[in-house]
Amino acid sequence: MSTERTLVLIKPDGVRRQLSGAILARIEAKGYVLAELKKLSAGRELLEQHYAEHEGKPFYEPLLEFMQSGPVVAAIFEGERVIEGFRSLAGVTDPTTAAPGTIRGDFGRDWGLAVQQNLVHGSDSVESAEREIAIWF
Ligand code: RTP
Ligand code: MG
């Protein structure tokens, strides 16, 4: 009844650092089911749709550039409360303060760059998940 789907992205920093397998393994180990998986280079148009809510913010342009700096891995994971569960596993946005034990806390840090390179994205609501899945898959 409460089974959900969420969109997970491994951002270009995670792919570049060869952490894709380690990140996917953590999500599976928590018990969520991998439903779809692909690696692709995201174009500006796709990213404009994905990040529409952030248009006009100071980090918007650096974010779009960063997300085009290399391939990303896109995945759909399924499970009860997977949206909330994955965001908890990912940790807070800033990898410097993300708790140890989270993906961002364990693998991320501040690199002094224009945008926070924080390894992963996860949808933040059922509505966002369905919208984002339609964009990426
Ligand atoms: P995400 O959407 O990627 O899962 O991350 P989030 O909800 O934790 O963060 P959000 O506020 O939606 O921001 C989207 C992404 O933009 C970059 N960001 N940089 N001040 C900054 O430098 C800044 N703020 C946001 C991050 O990559 C963040 O994940
Ligand atoms: Mg977000």
Supply the ipTM of this predicted assembly. 0.92
Architecture of 3-119 per CATH? 2-Layer Sandwich (3.30)
Residues with CB under 6 A from ligand 1: 59, 63, 93, 115-116, 118, 121-122, 124
Taking the whole predicted model, whether its pTM rises above 0.80 is answered as: yes
pLDDT tens digits, one per residue of 71-122 = 999 999 999 999 999 999 999 999 999 999 999 999 999 999 989 999 999 9
pLDDT tens digits, one per residue of 39-83 = 999 999 999 999 999 999 999 999 999 999 999 999 999 999 999
Q: Is 93 annotated as a binding residue?
A: yes
Q: Which residue has the tokens 């609501």?
A: 125
CA end-to-end distance (rounded Å), the chain: 23
Report residue 78 as tokens.
């399924």
